[in-house]
Amino acid sequence: MGIPEIDTVILLDREVDMVTPMCSQLTYEGLLDEMLEIHNGSVEVDASIMGAQQDGKKVKVPLNSSDKLYKEIRDLNLHVVVQVVRQKATSIQQDYAEVKSTNTQSVSELKDFVKRLHSLPEIARHVNLAQHLQSFAAKPAFHARVEIEQIILEAQTYETCYEYIEEIIQKQEPIETVLRLLVLFSLTNGGLPKKNFDYLRREILHSYGFEHMPLLYNLEKAGLVKRQESRTNWPVISRALQLIVDIKDPENPDDIAYIFAGYAPLSIRLVQHAVRSGWRSIEELLKLLPGPHMDLKRGVSTISSSELLPGSGSQQSTDRVGHRSLVLVVFIGGVTSAEIAALRFLSAQEGMGYDFLVATTKVITGNTLLRPIIASSKEGMI
């Protein structure tokens, strides 16, 4: 088997879209990474979660494409995953009851049934993991957080968002949870008014300790939490790229926004534009995003905010009849599981004509993205 020919290369610096990693991932794989942290294709959990009677012992649970069930459900929302694994378990249970109660099955039918039994360990594994995730996702605090993220992304109800962040600071919720919402709030508002900015900083120091002063300094220096100096461009960007979408049927979604319950990742919307028509058509919009970008077409370059290398343009997918173009998407600074899921979703859409290959420095969540900043801040200002 030869090395596939790459038709298009898209480079995306994480700086261009820091909003997406701050949002709670809602796909099965995304939630596993958020709550259990996937490392090298596996998660480590208490043995009791997987049904073993060994309290305190940790077990590694593999999560990769060799698990056919995981490959099928990894990009689905959790409530859909629960339905899928329940249906599969119920189907095998019914088949077993039929085999046990009658003697009319042919050898071929029995062989098929035994073959299906081989999937039981996979089903049991994901029933246990999904049940564990549900114990977190069903909590009112989780629903409240997802809801406030949506309100922040819509950038319409400033006071509600501000008061919620103030409240979780006073409740001393995990510092990573507070910072993710604060960063998301700052990024979508172009910063916070000086009075609110100073007040929330003081509240964080009072609630979590003055040793976090370097952390707040570093977040401001990185532009993640800052004072508001001008009007935000977020509503313009959001409307132009259709980042907020009403998902009518989460079980049969027709847009990548299902991944974040109605928010389409900015980074993946840029990929959509890149493969369909290049970035020339949204040149002015790209100027509103941080960082440089470059759109190169067949040797002709235009420097202008993320980078698109040779081969952009929707016509490429139809250059050869029946040929699906291969697009290499490189995320510098990390990519979330949800963004990868969005690319898989796009590739599966009828008429897309592209397969996506993802390369990245690291698979991240909002927590793992902020953790190095928190750690370095404990050692002093960077």
Residue 280 in domain? no
DSSP-assigned states of every residue in 119-146: THHHHHHHHHHHHHHHHHHTSHHHHHHH
Q: Is the pLDDT of residue 237 over 80?
A: yes
DSSP-assigned states of every residue in 219-253: HHHTTSS-B--S--SHHHHHHHTT-B---S-TTS-
How far apart are alpha carbons 51 and 70 in whole angstroms? Answer: 18
The whole-number average pLDDT for the span 28-55 is 90
Close Cβ partners of 123 (under 8 Å, ≥ 6 residues apart): 69, 85, 88, 89, 92
Residue 268 in domain? no
Angle at which helix 366-378 crosses helix 175-189, to 10 degrees, equals 110
Residues 83 and 183 in one domain: no
Angstrom distances, CA of residue 154 to CA of 160, 269, 284, 316: 12, 17, 22, 35
Residue 33 in domain? yes
Total tally of structural domains belonging to the chain: 2
Residue 276 in domain? no
Residues 63 and 210 in one domain: no
The CB density around residue 347, as the number of other CB atoms within 10 Å, is 15
How far apart are alpha carbons 62 and 70 in whole angstroms? Answer: 10
Q: Which two tokens stand for residue 309?
A: 């290398």
Residues 166 and 111 in one domain: no
CATH number of the domain enclosing 161? 1.25.40.850
Residues 51 and 107 in one domain: yes
How far apart are alpha carbons 202 and 17 in whole angstroms? Answer: 28
Residues 92 and 173 in one domain: no
Residue 194 in domain? yes
Identify which has the larger pLDDT, 319 or 255: 255
Beta bridge partners of 353: none
Q: Is the pLDDT of residue 320 over 80?
A: no
Residues 131 and 44 in one domain: yes
Residues 76 and 115 in one domain: yes
Residues 128 and 61 in one domain: yes
pTM of full prediction above 0.75: yes
**137-171: pLDDT as tens digits:** 999 999 999 999 999 999 889 999 999 999 999 99
Residue 255 in domain? no
CATH number of the domain enclosing 120? 3.90.830.10
Q: What is the span of the domain harbouring residue 121?
A: 29-137
Domain stops at, among 86, 112, 137? 137
pLDDT score for 103 = 65
Q: Which two tokens stand for residue 244?
A: 């907020």
Residue 330 in domain? no
**275-318: pLDDT as tens digits:** 988 888 898 999 999 876 665 544 333 333 444 443 344 444 44
How far apart are alpha carbons 222 and 311 in whole angstroms? Answer: 33
Contact 51, 124 (CB under 8 A): yes
The whole-number average pLDDT for the span 193-212 is 96
